[in-house]
């Protein structure tokens, strides 16, 4: 399939731009196990891109390659038109890539507000000295960062738990706080690792709404992994399907849904 | 009734102009946004209102047009109401949580040309029903989130409309229209919550609003420095009078919470001096305090109990200005220092000078608790048709079983069947486009039927309400049946959220009971009782035992009143779902709709009047997003201990 790189406007009025991240012939091995076998995929600016596949298909590994946590043995990662060398996670964060985790990774003892503030860390420039005496740039920076954080709190409707320690929150809300923290970094690319795992229908609906709103309001490009097929098909612009480390399908939800190979490997049930 | 406006103030916009001149730089509105309280002075608020009023002119608003307002309490939406009044339009606030059909009915009935919507949720609801609404021309939205891609040909943001208004510079026209308003022009139209049938549009004139605000503000000595928290639905007459009428008359500050969930935090931060809450808010707060005290350490619990004991004994007496010994004063001060003061602070009620509750009867324990804290909590009795006030309790004459003396300017009379009638300057003009209902409610002399049965207590002159007049009925053997009287007694138990008693035309009374999930859930946790759903908890044998004991106790107290002794509950069941406004079982103001419930659960009622021990039932429920589902349950029916009735009843 040859991709058209010109920007286009989706039926619901969002602009999808050029390629933001391009993964070329990625192969990732753990010892003798090939987790990802020669996969190429791109993520375009402004789109919601989903990676799906059965358990052990290599989805999370793929996300970890995108986030720079794993370095593939073979292949190239291009981000915003430049090849990205192997990097430390903080360097990736500075590039404008933020993520949430499959098993929530928040600071349990800190309040929601403080947790989200940590997302602003890459945007703080004042040194330890100024931070310590709380003057000059440190203060103006904090005010600015707090404003951004408050807008996110308002956006995700978590005002009521602003000062609540994260450890006391139910699961669904923790997931939302994690999203808030990722958003606080004002990322170019937001990676969501199973944002709806373990949620009930209502929480899933809320989360879907927020993901769409984030994409729409902030124009954030989103790559997500998800099990729930219904959610994926409704949310995403394009879907990559993986199975045993291989890419077996790539395209719009409708294309993927009708792809024989995908049906065979993953959905199965529709093939009776 | 023909008195002219006090010192030329004949409408809400006139009051606004006076406040700008008198208190221009004082805070008029506050709203918590992005975690910080933002405030507007009277002068700033007036500017915002004028800009919006001019904006409406650019849309072509004519005198007498209806402008609907839908959303949660926000200063900008209050301004929209006043802006509408500025240009001779009629503001029609709607319940923010109303379903699309309910909104459609109101919009269609009043023929609203414009709607000011709070956010996407409201805009979506209107969009759903817009096809049927031919009068509706333009939607103005406040919070543009998620609306960027909507078709804007008939939609504008609030800020843009204000900008267009400012550019147009048509302030002269706004002032002319404002000046041309008379004392008898419509000020606002409010839809009743509709316990029976379709909601009715109650038209209130400037006279109603101004006179009532003046009288009631003076009754409680409200001052410009007072603070209120505006968190009750804007469509409710009480909020209109507190947050617009009295606020404008007195010039006090209206504070809007950040969201419905943050209400308690915001309450604490603002520390209102004038506070209104329906009984359920006070109940909830008390339940929360008690649950937390159960979890406290032994010393803290002991201290709390000791201090509250002093509070209960001395607090109400101090409030009523009765003589209290020096020793008791000293004890109360100590108790205040150790427990009462901090508790009040936590509840956000430290500064409350005047607190009101109304709408439903409040349990004596709840009432006494707040009075013990030294909070001047009073009851009032009112209606939309009366512009709120019918009776209220003066300082120093507060009791839990009465609703007070007639408010200033109100005359009362009790009809032969016990129904309460009133006449006052606040009596509504008419039900919009419903002359028939107007005529059946209000007679030629201006007396209005409240629909409630009650009597005036001898000696004190306080009014006591027994029940809705139409609900008061006779049992099969002719004894008086007053369901609310019994339901209220049941609801005073923290475990019981709601109760519905049946018995008209029957041999004995039966009841549906809703457990309070917070209280019962906490009790279950404490007693290691596992449950996975509301339904399961509600049918737990030990929960049923507790409720059974409550019902027996209520029966005992009901039996003591010889007039109502027949209303003892013989059989009851605990419902498997909470009664909900979304299912039509309650009004938006959380009053039970008896007829709906009786019809919907007719199988359960039949079972209560049979000798079955349990019944299987399926119930349709509506989820928040409007979808429907079914829940199935097997409910246990239980008998409750009935106290033997007095001999004289049998002798009749």
- B92: number of Cβ within 10 Å: 26
How close does chain B come to A153, measured CA to CA in Å?
8
The structure tokens 């509301």 sit at B534
* Any A CB within 8 A of B628 CB: no
How close does chain B come to A203, measured CA to CA in Å?
13
Q: Which residues of A touch B147 (CB under 8 A)?
A: none
Same domain for A85 and A36: yes
Whether residue A15 lies inside any domain: the answer is: yes
B 545-574 near A (Cβ less than 8 A): none
Contact B265 A154 (CB under 8 A): no
How close does chain A come to B261, measured CA to CA in Å?
6
Give the model's pLDDT for residue B358. 85
Contact A205 B146 (CB under 8 A): no
Structural domain span for residue A260 = 1-96+187-272
Please, which pLDDT band fits residue A38 given cuts at 50, 70 and 90? very high
Asked if B61 and B114 count as a contact pair (C-beta separation under 8 A), the reply is yes
Contact B149 A13 (CB under 8 A): yes
Same domain for A156 and A23: no
Q: Which residues of A touch B625 (CB under 8 A)?
A: 205
Beta strand segments in B560-613, E: 569-574
Give the model's pLDDT for residue B477. 85
Contact A12 B149 (CB under 8 A): yes
Return the residue of A nearest to B147 by Cα.
Answer: A217
Question: In the listed set A128, A163, A185, which residue is the last one of a domain according to the structure?
Answer: A185
Radius of gyration for chain A, computed over Cα atoms and rounded to the nearest angstrom: 19
Give the model's pLDDT for residue B651. 38
Q: Choose between B194 and B442: higher pLDDT.
A: B442
B256 Ramachandran zone, left/alpha/beta (phi>0; psi -120 to 50): beta
Bridge partners of residue B452, in order along the sequence: B468
B309 Ramachandran zone, left/alpha/beta (phi>0; psi -120 to 50): alpha
Contact A159 B145 (CB under 8 A): no
How close does chain A come to B25, measured CA to CA in Å?
27
Q: Which of B33, B35, B120, B262 is best to mutate for the A interface (most A CBs within 10 A)?
A: B35
* Any A CB within 8 A of B622 CB: no
Q: Which residues of B touch A147 (CB under 8 A)?
A: 34
- Contacts of residue B125, defined as CB under 8 A and 6 or more positions apart, other chains included, come to B70, B98, B99, B100, B103
Same domain for A80 and A3: yes
Q: Choose between B172 and B648: higher pLDDT.
A: B172
* pLDDT of B546 over the 90 cut: yes
B 30-59 near A (Cβ less than 8 A): 33-36
Give the residue from A241, A265, A266, A263 showing the smallest Cα distance to A251: A241
Nearest to B262 among A12, A159, A217 (CB): A159
Same domain for A144 and A121: yes
Return the residue of A nearest to B146 by Cα.
Answer: A213
Average pLDDT of chain B is 90
| Integer Cα distance of B644 and B500 in angstroms | 23
Contact A160 B259 (CB under 8 A): yes
How close does chain A come to B146, measured CA to CA in Å?
7
Query: What pLDDT, in 10s, does the model give residues B361-395?
Result: 787 778 889 999 999 999 999 999 999 999 999 98
Give the model's pLDDT for residue B645. 60
Contact A213 B145 (CB under 8 A): yes
Contact A213 B265 (CB under 8 A): no
Q: Which residues of B touch A213 (CB under 8 A)?
A: 145-146
CA B181 distance to own-chain centroid:
30
Asked if B115 and B70 count as a contact pair (C-beta separation under 8 A), the reply is yes
Whether residue A213 lies inside any domain: the answer is: yes
Q: Give the DSSP H or E segment for B256.
A: strand B253-256
Q: Which residues of A touch B146 (CB under 8 A)?
A: 213, 216-217
* Any A CB within 8 A of B146 CB: yes
Please, which pLDDT band fits residue A4 given cuts at 50, 70 and 90? low
How close does chain B come to A111, measured CA to CA in Å?
14
Contact B145 A155 (CB under 8 A): yes
Handedness of CA A151, A152, A156, A160 (dihedral sign): negative
Asked if A237 and A49 count as a contact pair (C-beta separation under 8 A), the reply is yes
In this structure, are strands B463-468 and B480-481 parallel, antiparallel, or unpaired? unpaired
**For range B538-545, the mean pLDDT:** 93
**For range B62-70, the mean pLDDT:** 95
Whether residue A58 lies inside any domain: the answer is: yes
**For range B642-646, the mean pLDDT:** 71
| Integer Cα distance of A234 and A201 in angstroms | 14
A–B interface: beta-carbon pairs under 8 A: 35
Q: Which residues of B touch A12 (CB under 8 A)?
A: 149
Average pLDDT of chain A is 86
Please report, for chain B, the start and end positions of each structural domain, with discontinuous segments joined by +.
Answer: 6-276, 378-470, 473-651
CATH class in words for B378-470:
mainly beta
Nearest to A160 among B36, B261, B625 (CB): B261
How close does chain B come to A53, measured CA to CA in Å?
31
Using a CB–CB cut-off of 8 Å, the residues of A that contact B are: 12-13, 146-147, 150-151, 153-155, 157, 159-160, 162-163, 202, 205, 213, 216-217
Give the model's pLDDT for residue A28. 92
Q: Angle CA(B63)–CA(B64)–CA(B66) in degrees, nearest 5?
A: 120
Give the model's pLDDT for residue B417. 79
Nearest to B145 among A12, A160, A217 (CB): A217
Same domain for A158 and A148: yes
| Integer Cα distance of B348 and B359 in angstroms | 22
Please, which pLDDT band fits residue A227 given cuts at 50, 70 and 90? confident
Same domain for A68 and A50: yes
Q: Choose between A101 and B430: higher pLDDT.
A: B430
- Contacts of residue A259, defined as CB under 8 A and 6 or more positions apart, other chains included, come to A241, A248, A249, A251
Question: Residue A214: how many CA atoms within 13 Å on its side-chain side?
Answer: 31
Q: Which residues of B touch A146 (CB under 8 A)?
A: 35
- Whole-angstrom CA distances from A38 to A31, A248, A264, B478 are 16, 11, 21, 87
Same domain for A198 and A133: no
Q: Which two tokens stand for residue B584?
A: 């039509």
Same domain for A269 and A200: yes
| Integer Cα distance of A225 and B652 in angstroms | 77
Whether residue A101 lies inside any domain: the answer is: no
Same domain for A122 and A163: yes
Contact A154 B34 (CB under 8 A): yes
Q: Which residues of A touch B582 (CB under 8 A)?
A: none
Asked if B59 and B112 count as a contact pair (C-beta separation under 8 A), the reply is no
Contact A154 B148 (CB under 8 A): no
Same domain for A237 and A132: no
Share of chain B above pLDDT 90, in %: 60
Q: Which two tokens stand for residue B495?
A: 């475990």
Q: What single string gives the DSSP state of each residue in B70-133?
A: ESSS-HHHHHHHHHHHHTT-EEEEE-TT--HHHHHHHHHHHT-SEEEESSHHHHHHHHHHGGG-
Q: Which two tokens stand for residue A99?
A: 């993520």
Give the model's pLDDT for residue B276. 93
DSSP helix/strand/coil, B569: strand
Question: In the listed set A185, A211, A243, which residue is the last one of a domain according to the structure?
Answer: A185
Give the model's pLDDT for residue B398. 87
Whether residue A155 lies inside any domain: the answer is: yes
Query: What pLDDT, in 10s, does the model give residues A149-165?
Result: 999 999 898 999 999 99
- Whole-angstrom CA distances from A112 to A170, A211, B513 are 12, 19, 38
- Whole-angstrom CA distances from B181 to B88, B177, B203, B417, B632 are 7, 7, 16, 41, 57
Asked if B244 and B250 count as a contact pair (C-beta separation under 8 A), the reply is no
CATH number at residue A17: 3.40.50.300
How close does chain A come to B117, measured CA to CA in Å?
18
Same domain for A218 and A265: yes
Does domain B6-276 bear CATH number 3.20.20.140?
Answer: no
* pLDDT of B647 over the 80 cut: no
Contact A159 B625 (CB under 8 A): no
Give the model's pLDDT for residue B402. 86
Structural domain tally of chain A? Answer: 2
Q: Which residues of A touch B262 (CB under 8 A)?
A: 159-160
Return the residue of A nearest to B144 by Cα.
Answer: A217
Please, which pLDDT band fits residue A5 given cuts at 50, 70 and 90? low
Question: Residue B257: how many CA atoms within 13 Å on its side-chain side?
Answer: 21
Q: What single string gives the DSSP state of each residue in chain A?
A: -PPP-S-EE-TTSPEE-SEEEEEEEEEEEETTEEEEEEEEEEEETT-EEEEE-STTSSHHHHHHHHTTSS--SEEEEEETTEEPPP--HHHHHHHTEEEE-SS----TTSBHHHHHHHTTGGG----HHHHHHT-THHHHHHHHHHHHHHHHHHHTT-GGGTTSBGGGS-HHHHHHHHHHHHHHT--SEEEEESTTTT--HHHHHHHHHHHHHHHHHH--EEEEE-S-HHHHHHH-SEEEEEETTEEEEEE-HHHHHT-HHHIIIII-TT--
In this structure, are strands A246-251 and A238-243 parallel, antiparallel, or unpaired? antiparallel
Lowest mean pLDDT among A11-20, A217-226, B57-66, B307-316: A11-20
How close does chain B come to A70, measured CA to CA in Å?
36
Lowest mean pLDDT among B19-28, B157-166, B618-627: B618-627
Query: What pLDDT, in 10s, does the model give residues A165-217?
Result: 999 998 889 999 999 999 999 999 999 998 888 888 888 888 998 999 899 88
DSSP state of B563: G
Nearest to A151 among B34, B262, B625 (CB): B34
Q: Looking at the domain that runs over B473-651, which CATH code has it been given?
A: 3.30.300.30
Length of chain B measured in residues: 652
Give the residue from B253, B448, B238, B450 showing the smallest Cα distance to B356: B238
Give the model's pLDDT for residue A269. 52
**For range A30-40, the mean pLDDT:** 89
Contact A205 B148 (CB under 8 A): no
Same domain for A264 and A230: yes
Nearest to B35 among A150, A155, A157 (CB): A150
B 149-178 near A (Cβ less than 8 A): 149
Give CA torsion, residues B151, B152, B158, B164, to 10 deg. Answer: 180
Return the residue of A nearest to B149 by Cα.
Answer: A13
B96 Ramachandran zone, left/alpha/beta (phi>0; psi -120 to 50): alpha
CA B505 distance to own-chain centroid:
31
């Amino acid at each position: 399939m040859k991709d058209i790189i010109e920007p286009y406007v989706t039926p619901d009025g969002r602009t999808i731009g050029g390629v933001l991240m391009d993964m070329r012939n990625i192969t990732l091995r753990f010892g003798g196990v090939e987790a990802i076998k020669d996969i190429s995929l791109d993520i375009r600016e402004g789109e919601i891109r989903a990676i799906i596949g059965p358990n052990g298909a290599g989805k999370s590994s793929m996300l970890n390659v995108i986030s720079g946590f794993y370095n593939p043995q073979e292949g190239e990662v291009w981000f915003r038109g430049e090849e990205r060398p192997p990097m430390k996670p903080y360097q990736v964060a500075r590039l404008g890539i933020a993520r949430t985790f499959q098993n929530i990774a928040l600071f349990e003892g800190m309040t929601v507000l403080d947790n989200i503030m940590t997302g602003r860390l890459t945007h703080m420039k004042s040194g330890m000295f100024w931070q310590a005496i709380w003057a000059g740039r440190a203060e103006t920076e904090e005010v600015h960062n707090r404003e951004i954080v408050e807008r996110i709190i308002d956006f995700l409707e978590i005002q009521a738990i602003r000062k609540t320690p994260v450890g006391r929150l139910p699961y669904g809300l923790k997931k939302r706080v994690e999203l808030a923290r990722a958003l606080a970094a004002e990322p170019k690319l937001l990676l969501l690792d199973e944002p709806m795992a373990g949620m009930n229908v209502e929480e899933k609906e809320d989360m879907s709404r927020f993901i769409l709103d984030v994409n729409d309001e902030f124009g954030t490009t989103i790559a997500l992994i998800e099990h729930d097929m219904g959610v994926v098909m409704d949310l995403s612009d394009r879907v990559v399907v993986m199975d045993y480390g291989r890419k077996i399908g790539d395209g719009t939800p409708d294309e993927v849904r009708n792809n024989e190979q995908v049906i065979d490997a993953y959905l199965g049930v529709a093939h009776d | 009734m023909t008195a002219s406006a006090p010192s030329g103030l004949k409408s809400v916009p006139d009051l606004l102009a006076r406040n700008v001149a008198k208190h221009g730089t004082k805070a008029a509105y506050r709203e918590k946004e992005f975690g910080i309280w933002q405030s507007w002075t009277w002068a700033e608020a007036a500017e915002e209102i004028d800009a919006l009023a001019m904006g409406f002119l650019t849309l072509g608003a004519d005198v007498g047009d209806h402008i609907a307002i839908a959303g949660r309490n926000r200063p900008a939406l209050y301004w929209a109401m006043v802006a509408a009044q500025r240009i001779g339009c009629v503001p029609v606030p709607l319940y923010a949580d109303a379903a699309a059909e309910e909104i459609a009915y109101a919009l269609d009935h009043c023929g609203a040309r414009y709607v000011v919507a709070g956010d996407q949720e409201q805009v979506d609801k209107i969009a759903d029903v817009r096809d049927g609404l031919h009068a509706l021309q333009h939607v103005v939205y406040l919070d543009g989130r998620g609306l960027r891609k909507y078709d804007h040909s008939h939609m504008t943001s609030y800020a843009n409309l204000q900008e267009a208004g400012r550019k147009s510079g048509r302030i002269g026209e706004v002032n002319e229209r404002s000046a041309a308003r008379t004392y008898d022009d419509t000020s606002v139209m409010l839809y009743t919550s509709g316990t029976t049938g379709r909601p009715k549009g109650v038209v209130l004139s400037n006279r109603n609003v101004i006179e009532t605000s003046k009288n009631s503000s003076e009754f409680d000595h409200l001052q410009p420095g007072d603070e209120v928290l505006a968190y009750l639905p804007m469509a409710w007459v009480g909020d209109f009078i507190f947050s617009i009428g009295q606020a404008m008359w007195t010039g006090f500050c209206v504070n809007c919470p950040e969201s419905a969930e943050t209400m308690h935090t915001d309450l604490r931060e603002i520390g209102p001096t004038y506070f209104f809450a329906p009984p359920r808010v006070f109940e909830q707060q008390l339940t929360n305090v008690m649950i937390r005290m159960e979890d406290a350490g032994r010393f803290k619990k002991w201290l709390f109990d000791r201090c509250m004991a002093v509070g209960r004994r001395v607090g109400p007496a101090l409030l009523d200005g009765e003589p209290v010994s020096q020793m008791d004063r000293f004890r109360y001060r100590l108790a205040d220092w150790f427990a009462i003061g901090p508790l009040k602070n936590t509840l956000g009620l430290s500064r409350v000078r005047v607190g009101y509750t109304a709408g439903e009867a409040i349990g004596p324990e709840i009432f006494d608790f707040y009075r013990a804290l030294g909070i001047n909590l009073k009851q009032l009795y009112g209606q939309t048709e009366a512009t709120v006030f019918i009776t209220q309790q003066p300082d120093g004459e507060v009791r839990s079983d009465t609703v007070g003396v007639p408010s200033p300017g109100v005359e009362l009379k009790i009809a032969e069947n016990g129904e309460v009638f009133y006449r006052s300057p606040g009596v509504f003009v008419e039900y919009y486009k419903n002359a028939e209902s107007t005529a059946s409610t209000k007679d030629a002399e201006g007396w209005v039927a409240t629909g409630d049965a009650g009597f005036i207590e001898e000696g004190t002159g306080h009014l006591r309400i027994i029940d809705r007049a139409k609900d008061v009925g006779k049992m099969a053997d002719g004894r008086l049946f007053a369901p609310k009287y019994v339901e209220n007694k049941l609801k005073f138990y923290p475990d019981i959220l709601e109760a519905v008693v049946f018995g008209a035309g029957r041999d004995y009374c039966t009841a549906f009971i809703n457990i309070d999930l917070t209280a019962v859930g906490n009790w279950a946790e404490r007693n290691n009782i596992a449950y996975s759903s509301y339904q399961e908890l509600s049918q737990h044998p030990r929960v049923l035992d507790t409720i059974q004991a409550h019902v027996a106790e209520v029966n005992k107290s009901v039996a003591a009143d010889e007039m109502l002794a027949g209303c003892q509950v013989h059989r009851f069941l605990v419902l498997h779902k909470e009664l909900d406004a979304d299912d039509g079982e309650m009004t938006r103001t959380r009053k039970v709709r008896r007829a709906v419930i009786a019809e919907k659960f007719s199988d359960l009622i039949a079972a209560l009047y049979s000798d079955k021990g349990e019944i299987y039932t399926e119930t349709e429920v509506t989820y928040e997003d409007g979808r429907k589902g079914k829940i199935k349950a097997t409910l246990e029916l239980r008998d409750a201990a009935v106290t033997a009735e007095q001999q004289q009843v049998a002798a009749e």
